[in-house]
Amino acid sequence: MTTIVTDNCKRCRFTDCVTVCPVSCFHGDEEMLYIDPEECIDCGACIPKCPVEAIYEDPIPEDKQHWIEINEERALMFPVIQDQQDPYPGAEERKAELGF
Taking CB under 6 A as the criterion, the residue among 27, 34, 55, 74 binding ligand SF4 is: 55
- Rule CB under 8 A: is residue 85 a binding residue for other proteins? no
The minimum distance between CB 62 and ligand SF4, in angstroms, equals: 20
The closest alpha carbon to 83, from 29, 19, 12, 5, belongs to 19
The minimum distance between CB 50 and ligand SF4, in angstroms, equals: 3
CA angle 25, 100, 90 (to 5 degrees): 75
Residue 94 exposed, middle or buried by CB count within 10 Å (0-12, 13-18, 19+): middle
> Checking phi first, is residue 90 left (phi over 0); if not, alpha (psi -120 to 50) or beta?
left
The piece of 27-35, 45-53, 63-71, 73-81 that touches other proteins (CB under 8 A) is 45-53
Contact residues: ligand SF4, CB under 6 A = 3, 5, 9, 12-17, 20-23, 25, 32-33, 35, 40-46, 50, 52, 54-55
